[in-house]
Amino acid sequence: MGKVILDVRELSTKYVTRFGESVYAVDRVSLKVEEGKSLGIAGESGCGKSTLALSLMGYYFAPLHYISGDIIIDGVNISKMHPDEVRRKILGKEIAYIPQAAMNALNPTLKIINFIEDVIHAHDPKVPKKQIYEMARQRFEELGLPAEVLQKYPVELSGGMKQRTVIATSVILSPKVLIADEPSSALDVTSQKMVIKMLRDMMERGLVKAMIFITHELPLLYNVTDDIMVMYAGQIVEQGTAQQVVFDPLHPYSKGLMGSIIVPESGVRDVKLTAIPGAPPNLKRPPQGCRFADRCKYVQAECRVQSIYMREAANNRAYRCIYPEEQLRKVYENEG
Ligand SMILES: Nc1ncnc2c1ncn2[C@@H]1O[C@H](COP(=O)(O)OP(=O)(O)OP(=O)(O)O)[C@@H](O)[C@H]1O
């Protein structure tokens, strides 16, 4: 096993609504990402992917609240740091986040270089502008973006270029971990490919040491990340290599999602994570037993009465189900 860059242990966070209700969006999530590796997180809308991404940065402000667990980045536990310290020392430097529709982060009234100055000055107001320009120019060129972009206003750039600009900006301070939340979903296919290529380049050149890629589109994950975790109703329900999870899923939810995939590339292309009838449980009052029980074809009475934990399977994988691996495989086999 390589050096672990991101080590998350039993992390739980919640939203508290203005009516004082708690929404348990991230429930005891554990994950590890080693140096040079990428992890994909997949799940349907509302399962907690974005909340997990935000939670991983350790930067909590209302309505998002930390409950428990540890976030260890390259040996440093950031989970109990004060938000000011996280903002100054961690964000952008240790861990960076590319939000959904990141290109909207650009301020239309600022040239790109001025936007970058603002980003860097939020961490350290003393960095001279000349130095920022030099850092930005170098990073843009490394990532195949022309330095002229720095002198442009957002309106002068295409959607794809804006997105790549924000991505390049997010790694100016060489963060150890980069979290990309649906970074290409709003783009046309060509721009999507360029964004994915850029993320890969960043990993290959060591500009970031570990990456988390969040999406509901499985084909993207299969082609981009080494490992995949499937999330359902605030919990991880399956974890393995991209190959294992896509082509040999164990959890009935992943199985349902991937069931129709036959051929890589063309076969996976159009599969969306919405194929299973029913809806996830309300995260204000998650059920005591298996959260997938209401939608599971193989549900038994005991699934609903006890907490279901992740269980280990062969080849370093894990899934959250009462069925042992052999039994689950038999059930699937009998179905044909
Ligand atoms: N500000 C908020 N206040 C209260 N509940 C919230 C808030 N933001 C999200 N939630 C709830 O938290 C849960 C997880 O939402 P989250 O946005 O993390 O899911 P997601 O998997 O990222 O979905 P999507 O793919 O649509 O972005 C959902 O039940 C959502 O309704």
47 lines ligand 1 (CB under 6 A): yes
pLDDT of residue 260: 43
State if residue 25 touches ligand 1 by the CB under 6 angstroms criterion. Answer: yes
Residue having the nearest C-alpha atom to atom 7 of ligand 1: 15
The predicted pLDDT at position 261 comes to: 44
Show me where the domains of the chain are located: 4-335
Burial-class residue 207 by CB neighbours within 10 Å (0-12, 13-18, 19+): middle
pLDDT at 275: 62
pLDDT score for 272: 43
Q: Which atom of ligand 1 is nearest to the CA of 50?
A: 22
* Protein residue whose Cα sits closest to atom 6 of ligand 1: 15
pLDDT (0 to 100) of residue 182: 86
Any ligand 1 atom below 6 A from CB of 286:
no
249 CA from centroid of ligand 1 (Å): 25
Distance 206 CA to ligand 1 centre (A): 32
Domain spanning 4-335: CATH superfamily:
P-loop containing nucleotide triphosphate hydrolases (3.40.50.300)
CA distance 313 to 316: 6
- Sign of the torsion formed by the C-alpha atoms of 241, 244, 250 and 251: positive
ipTM passes above 0.85:
yes
Q: Answer whether 43 contacts ligand 1 (Cβ < 6 A).
A: yes
What are the mean pLDDT values of the chain's consecutive 10-residue runs (336 residues total)? 94 97 97 96 92 94 96 95 89 91 88 95 90 96 94 94 92 94 80 86 92 80 88 97 91 78 45 67 95 94 94 96 95 85
- 300 vs 302: CA distance, rounded Å: 5
Find, among 100, 103, 104, 79, the residue nearest to 7 by Cα: 79
Task: Give the separation between CA 261 and CA 309, rounded to whole angstroms.
Answer: 27
Tens of pLDDT along 137-165?
Answer: 999 999 999 999 999 999 999 988 998 99
User: How much is the pLDDT for 59?
Assistant: 87
Cα 48 to ligand 1 centre (Å): 6
Q: How far is the CA of 306 from the centre of ligand 1 (A)?
A: 25
* CA 143 to centroid of ligand 1, rounded, Å: 32
- The residues, ordered by sequence, that sit 6+ positions from 295 with a Cβ below 8 Å of its Cβ are 253, 256, 276, 277, 278, 279, 280
**Do 240 and 224 touch, CB atoms closer than 8 A?**
no
Ligand 1 touching residue 153 (CB < 6 A):
no
**Is the beta carbon of 51 within 6 A of some atom in ligand 1?**
yes
Q: Which atom of ligand 1 is nearest to the CA of 100?
A: 27
Residue of 15, 64, 214, 272 with the most ligand 1 atoms within 8 Å of its CB, for mutation: 15
What is the pTM for the complete model shown?
0.91
